Amino acid sequence: MTCLECSKNLDYLEHKNSMDQLGLELCKQHRTRMAKLIENNNTPIEAMQLYYGLKAVGVNPMLEWWDGNKSIDIAISRVKLNIEIDVEYHMLTHEQAMNDLEKTMHSFKNGFTTIRIPHVLIKHYLKETVNNILGIMKGLKANIKVI
Ligand SMILES: [Zn+2]
């Protein structure tokens, strides 16, 4: 059991606290840092799980990336891909939906593609979700070459 961020060895209690709080293996220092990020940005826990899932397969994602306009849950700048995690689908009002659409429009204007992923998908199918994102990255890379 080692910290995902710094590879420090975790003792039983450290590991348990981190799994209980974030569902991720992090040392106290990195767990505190992530908890602060969650508090400041309202970051879904699933965004962090996806972030580390992508890192594990060699992707270089950025968490809570500020694009000059808003904070993106996860951005993969190499292929200009923004990933937003959707929580509570059933609570979506038409104002929120329009807001999302406008955000997507602004991203497109900057050359970024935005995909929205329901948090439950990450919670239950992290591996498949990561695989699909890898496929999307491959497609985006091919498109960038064509242009
Ligand atoms: Zn650490």
Q: Hey, what are 94's tokens?
A: 């038409």
Centre of ligand 1 to C-alpha 107, Å, is 32
- Strand-pair category, 81-86 with 113-118: parallel
Q: What is the DSSP string of 104-116?
A: HHHHHHTT-EEEE
Q: What is the mean pLDDT of residues 58-80?
A: 91
CA distance 73 to 76: 10
In the predicted structure, residue 136 carries a pLDDT above the cut 70? yes
The runs of H, that is alpha helices, within the chain are 12-22, 28-41, 45-56, 94-109, 119-124, 126-146
Centre of ligand 1 to C-alpha 25, Å, is 9
| Domain chopping of the chain, boundaries | 1-41, 43-146
Residue 66 — φ and ψ, nearest 5°?
-85, 115
Write down the pLDDT at residue 53: 96
Rg (CA), the chain: 16
Write down the pLDDT at residue 8: 96
**Of 132 and 144, more confident:** 132
Express each pLDDT in 5-64 by its tens digit: 999 999 999 999 999 999 999 999 999 999 999 999 889 999 999 999 999 999 999 999
Q: Helix (H, G, I), strand (E, B), or coil: what is residue 82? A: strand
pLDDT confidence tier of residue 128, bands split at 50, 70 and 90: very high
What homologous superfamily is domain 43-146 in, according to CATH? VSR Endonuclease (3.40.960.10)
Express each pLDDT in 85-125 by its tens digit: 988 766 778 998 898 888 888 888 888 999 999 999 999 99
- pTM recorded for the entire structure: 0.88
Centre of ligand 1 to C-alpha 143, Å, is 37
Centre of ligand 1 to C-alpha 7, Å, is 6
Contact 132, 57 (CB under 8 A): no
Centre of ligand 1 to C-alpha 28, Å, is 7
